[in-house]
A and B are shown apart, each in its own frame.
Chain A
Amino acid sequence: MNITCSFIVIFLAGFVHACFQLSISVLTMINARGLGSKTSATKIDTLSTFFILGSSVMTFLILSTLLLTICYINENLITALDWSIICGLVAGVGLAIWLFYYRKNGTSIWIPRPFADFLGEKIKIAKRPMEAFVLGLTTVLGEILFVVAPISAASLAVLSLPSYFQPIGMIAYILMSSSSLFIIWLLITHGKSISKIQVWRENNKRFLQYVSGGVLIALSLFIFVNGVINI
């Protein structure tokens, strides 16, 4: 796979990751909780910053772990078999997203309910930046079932880049995947009400589900053409 194709895979994977909703929900709840309990704007901003930082760090850690594992298994050589495994995984998760991603009510997603309750409890007690940071780390892990596909595709694309481009590829993925969190954070800090954000998210949830699943399936086709059969 050439450099351009690798970056296309990284950007598409990052875009799909950004469409996933658990981190956005948790960030919305942190802000809602802060505003509701008359917490100062500076403190809410700090909590949001640390939450986004935690989420980005966990994305970086998962991406690095996958890179290292693939390097270790393949001894730095990417074969068509690797691409075909990722291609299958990405297509499978894309279909799963079309079928399962959201629950009926609100914007709650298909994750184990005890874990969602656990997150809800932790949001209530998160008052220090470090707690928000850990919440960010945990949230990405909570969505791992869905996140694993775009991160795997991105890690293989990063590995297929020349070594001097690899850090750029990783940073691009992390920035792209965190972009939705930055947007929500900016909207809230600029005075957008939580209910308006929530109404938009709920009205467009099926569209977002369709887009994330669709882009993953398109990504799997792209990987199939450029990585597996290498036209």
Chain B
Amino acid sequence: MIDTIVIKHGGKRPSEKFDITKLRNSILSICLCNRKTDGESETIAERVTKVVMKWAETKNEITTRDIRIVVYNELKKYSPDTAYLYKQHRAII
């Protein structure tokens, strides 16, 4: 856990500490739902999480939107399909 504060989108929910496990699980879940194998999903989640952690360490406050942009750009390098799904999954309904 690092000390960066995450400000939630819309401001309805309270801000919270940046939780890298939560982020890793969401990336893992989106990879699995796009039919990546367990191993591949783990590797992608690990690599993307590392980059996001390095980026977040230098900041005091970040928004969920910032995280989504960084994750999307990083995920795009490994799996453009999964990156698309990550970006769009809130706009399905």
Q: A residues touching B (Cβ–Cβ < 8 Å)?
A: 22, 25-26, 28-29, 31-33, 35-38, 103, 105-109, 116, 119-120, 191, 193-196, 198-199, 202
Contact = CB atoms under 8 A, between A and B. Distances in A.
B24 to A, nearest CB: 13
Given A195-B84, A199-B84, A22 B33 contact: no
B28 to A, nearest CB: 8
Nearest to B81: A195
A119 B33 contact: no
Nearest to A106: B91
A198 B92 contact: yes
Given A29-B92, A198-B92, A35 B85 contact: no
A35 B33 contact: yes
B92 A193 contact: no
A135 to B, nearest CB: 12
Interface in B15-64: 29-30, 32-35
Interface in B69-93: 81-82, 84-85, 88-93
B90 to A, nearest CB: 8
Nearest to A38: B32
A198 B91 CA distance: 10
Contact of B93 (A26, A38, A199, A202): A26
B29 A193 contact: no
A230 B89 CA distance: 48
A37 B84 contact: no
